[in-house]
């Protein structure tokens, strides 16, 4: 849900911002609680889902991709408005590295695939920002 709060049970309420539009915001939301969350969107018929727990990606799916390759594909897309569900545990664990490592590997792949672009600096900002927490 995107608006208000989402009750988990009779004792847990997780605040949800009215609009979550980036993986950075999802990570911050996930780091603020120990409750697992799932974010999803579909705009061209391709299912995209990412599960987080305590600020770490646990599982991701982007069409036929799973795990780290799915996260890299999600990172390579423009920001979206996610549908966020709290309390949804991942069906499996397909990501076994930290957010920092995911960003590093995505940046390496991007640099191997094409020359650096001016807007690639967000990888560094996301890694540096999360490293300070």
Question: What is the pTM for the complete model shown?
Answer: 0.68
- pLDDT at residue 43 in the model: 72
DSSP 37-89: EEEEE-SSS--EEEEEETTEEEEEEETTEESHHHHHHHHTSPP---EEEES--
Please, which pLDDT band fits residue 127 given cuts at 50, 70 and 90?
Answer: low
Please, which pLDDT band fits residue 11 given cuts at 50, 70 and 90?
Answer: very low
* 30-65: pLDDT as tens digits: 888 889 999 888 777 788 899 999 989 999 999 999
Q: 65 vs 99, which has greater pLDDT?
A: 65
Please, which pLDDT band fits residue 10 given cuts at 50, 70 and 90?
Answer: very low
């Amino acid at each position: 849900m995107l608006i208000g709060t989402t009750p988990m049970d009779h004792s847990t309420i997780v605040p949800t911002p009215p609009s979550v539009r980036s993986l950075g915001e999802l990570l911050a939301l996930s780091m603020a609680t120990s409750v697992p969350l799932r974010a999803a969107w579909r705009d061209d018929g391709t299912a995209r889902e990412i599960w987080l727990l305590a600020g770490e990606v646990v599982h991701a799916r982007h069409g036929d991709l799973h795990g780290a390759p799915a996260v890299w594909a999600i990172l390579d897309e423009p920001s979206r408005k996610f549908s966020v569900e709290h309390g949804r545990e991942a069906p499996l664990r397909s990501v076994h590295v930290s957010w920092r490592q995911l960003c590093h590997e995505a940046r390496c792949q991007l640099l191997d695939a094409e020359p650096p672009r001016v807007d690639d600096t967000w990888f560094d900002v996301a890694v540096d920002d999360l490293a300070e927490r």
